[in-house]
A and B are shown apart, each in its own frame.
Chain A
Amino acid sequence: MPVTNLQLFLPELLLTGLALAVLLLDLWLPRARRSVLPVLSVIGLLLVGLAAASLWDPQRGPVYDFWNSYVTDNFAIFLKVFFAAVGGLVVLLSTDFLRDVRAYGEYWSLLLFVLLGMVLLAGANDLITIYLAFELVSLVSYVLAGYRREDPKSNEAALKYFLYGASASGVMIYGMSLLYGLGGSTNLQVLGERLASGEVTPLGALALMLVLTGLGYKVAMAPFQAWCPDVYEGAPTPVTAFLSVGPKAAGFAVLIRFALSVFPSLLPQWQVVVAILATLTMFVGNLLAIRQQNLKRLLAYSSIAHAGYLLIGVVAAGSQAGWGLPAVLFYLVAYLLMNLGAFALLLLVARTRGTEEISGFSGLAQGAPFAAATMLILLLSLTGIPPTGGFVGKFYLFAAAIESGTWWWLALVGIINSAISLYYYMNIARLMYFGQPAPELVKRPAGLSVVVWVALIGTLGLGLVPEPLMALARQAGMLFVGR
């Protein structure tokens, strides 16, 4: 199908226009007025989110466009709205931090370009489109990780991210080239049909493994997680917050669409592999997080662990019960809220106390009871304790594993890992409430406060009233269920 309806492409067009507008405005605006840029970015992202949401139609099946290289379905729309929300929150997180950073205007437009890449990944239905959108996300992420050029750690983060990311891209595109050779097309559906028609070939299995490896690097899946802590620690904190949620979610989106479209015939095999890797990822993330003293490193390992929980949903998504996809989508939203909230509080604390170590949170409850209580709720959510969004999200993920029959034991692994994570999350809570009292947080920049409030209300809201979001997630996941 050639280009039929550009209206379906509205979010992408708006986002591209926004990124270019911010870039050009930065040239024209006088220095003192440049703080308009983040405001404009947030308003623009709000519009992008609304434009994407307006396309939502529970009745409509997937619409293929651009000669089938792009698909608009509820799964993609859900993720586009999600990415717009990620972008808005990260812009708010960055405003305060960026005041003293060089290349001010470029930051916003680069951030919007990454978001564009992620939005494109949500709907990409063709190997070439997937690869290019992935490179857009990756290339700009490397730059953002190295944005503090005067900081050696930031340089190290950018270089490590670049080297690992480039190798991962190489592995992934090699796998894709094998797929093209086997299927004779770059379109995911055509590939799926042609690969399913014959027997399972060794080369096809190898191609799947190579693509899985490439995507595994991007979502920091064990054993490809080695870059993650160094990059997350070295990158500027708002960028770390972004990397821990945005590109990860985009990686999961591609992983799911790819696995379910191209390899329906190999489902049982890749479920085994992903289940083993999910187990490994959860244990590596949680066990290594225990020893961390730097909160950014701790959150990096915790994000590896959360990628492991999400992989449970990916495994379950391959089963007939159809619980896996909605659970993954729900958990992504819950993770976005609790993780960005934790990063916002980290920025607040680091701003006053000048340290990103866990010890910076010591005695926070005396100086700033509200911040400490919020952090406690976010930590409970990250652990998966009710009444929080993290609990409900994990509940759905584990329920999906149990519903799928074969993979019930993944739920058990997940519960054991949640118990392990309780130790290091509650260690922070212990410090906040029983540590040495410290001065209160003097400055509370508006952007950070907004993120903290959104995270708090969202996390509790999802914990108490999960059904509306879950209903949407179920509609978004419908597409793959009736295969």
Chain B
Amino acid sequence: MLFGLPYTNYVEYLAFLSVAGLTLLGGLGTIVARRVFPACLWLLVCLGGVAGLYALLAGHLLMAVQILVYAGAITVLIIFAVMLLQRHTGRIIMAENQHLIGGVLAAGFMATLILVGIFTTRYQPLAFGDTPATFAGDNVKLIGHLLLTKYLLPFEVVSVVLLASMIGALVLARQEPGENPGAAEAPEAESQP
């Protein structure tokens, strides 16, 4: 028993602890890093940790997707954007953590609330479907089957969401013929209270 959880397989438990710790460390690094570029690298650590968590749950396909899409594509895209912007503007983009005390207080409050919730709740035993052992190695088939049966509607909605986001992104970013480049980003709007 560790933290009230019965664990028989201590190797798995150690693996979980290290991967979870890595995820937390990455998340912390992402928000604490002053310069944006190192923050992106910390994000990579965090997302890699999440991939490790999937692997521990025998979600091998999810782990691969996590690494390919989040760590591989999205983080790299962010890093590209940061590097291009830094070249373009000629200065290093810094994160401005102005409300440090307020932020720490708010985060601490939420964390306390969640931790109290987690540790005071008496959980009911629930069947979540198959246990990891039964579908290990058969991930692709299982997920494919679920996507085309139980989650068919969300699966179809995702395609509409992606299409609409793509059109939206194009509308915001596309340069119209005769439009002055950079005109949109020049004036900085002052917010009103």
Does chain A have a CB within 8 A of B153?
Answer: yes
Does chain A have a CB within 8 A of B176?
Answer: yes
Chain B residues within 8 Å of A63, by CB: none
Instruction: Choose from A106, A150, A184, A194 the contact partner of B167 (Cβ within 8 Å).
Output: A106
* Nearest Cβ on chain B to A153's Cβ, whole angstroms: 6
Does chain A have a CB within 8 A of B157?
Answer: yes
Contacts A69-B151, A110-B167, A206-B113 given; does A136 touch B191 at CB 8 Å: no
Does chain B have a CB within 8 A of A339?
Answer: no
- Please tell me if the beta carbons of B149 and A67 are within 8 angstroms of each other in the complex: yes
Q: Mark A1-29, 1 if CB is under 8 A from B, else 0.
A: 01100000000000010000001000000
Q: Which of B163, B164, B167 has the most CB of A within 10 A?
A: B164
- Please tell me if the beta carbons of A132 and B161 are within 8 angstroms of each other in the complex: yes
Of chain B, the residue at the smallest CB distance from A183 is B126
- Please tell me if the beta carbons of B161 and A230 are within 8 angstroms of each other in the complex: no
- Complex-state Cα separation, A128 to B146, whole angstroms: 13
Of chain B, the residue at the smallest CB distance from A149 is B184
- Complex-state Cα separation, A143 to B171, whole angstroms: 8
Does chain A have a CB within 8 A of B128?
Answer: yes
Instruction: Choose from B150, B153, B164 the contact partner of A139 (Cβ within 8 Å).
Output: B164
* Nearest Cβ on chain A to B125's Cβ, whole angstroms: 10
Instruction: Choose from B117, B152, B154, B157 the contact partner of A203 (Cβ within 8 Å).
Output: B117
Instruction: Choose from B120, B152, B164 the contact partner of A110 (Cβ within 8 Å).
Output: B164
Of chain A, the residue at the smallest CB distance from B151 is A128
- Please tell me if the beta carbons of A203 and B121 are within 8 angstroms of each other in the complex: yes
Contacts A116-B160, A136-B157 given; does A152 touch B124 at CB 8 Å: no
Number of interface residues of A (CB under 8 A): 54
* Nearest Cβ on chain B to A346's Cβ, whole angstroms: 19
- Please tell me if the beta carbons of A139 and B168 are within 8 angstroms of each other in the complex: yes
Instruction: Choose from A23, A120, A142, A147 the contact partner of B157 (Cβ within 8 Å).
Output: A120
- Please tell me if the beta carbons of B126 and A184 are within 8 angstroms of each other in the complex: yes
- Complex-state Cα separation, A113 to B118, whole angstroms: 38
* Nearest Cβ on chain B to A410's Cβ, whole angstroms: 27
9 closest residue pairs by CB, A with B: A143-B168, A156-B189, A184-B126, A152-B189, A113-B164, A66-B153, A203-B121, A203-B117, A201-B121
What are 30 inter-chain pairs, A to B, with CB distance below 8 A?
A3-B152, A16-B160, A66-B152, A67-B149, A67-B152, A69-B152, A102-B176, A102-B179, A109-B167, A113-B164, A116-B160, A128-B151, A129-B153, A132-B154, A136-B157, A136-B160, A139-B164, A139-B165, A143-B168, A143-B172, A146-B172, A147-B171, A153-B189, A155-B184, A160-B191, A182-B123, A183-B126, A184-B127, A194-B126, A199-B122
> Which B residues lie at the A interface, using CB under 8 A?
113-114, 116-118, 120-124, 126-128, 149-154, 157-158, 160-161, 163-165, 167-172, 174, 176, 179, 183-184, 187-189, 191-192
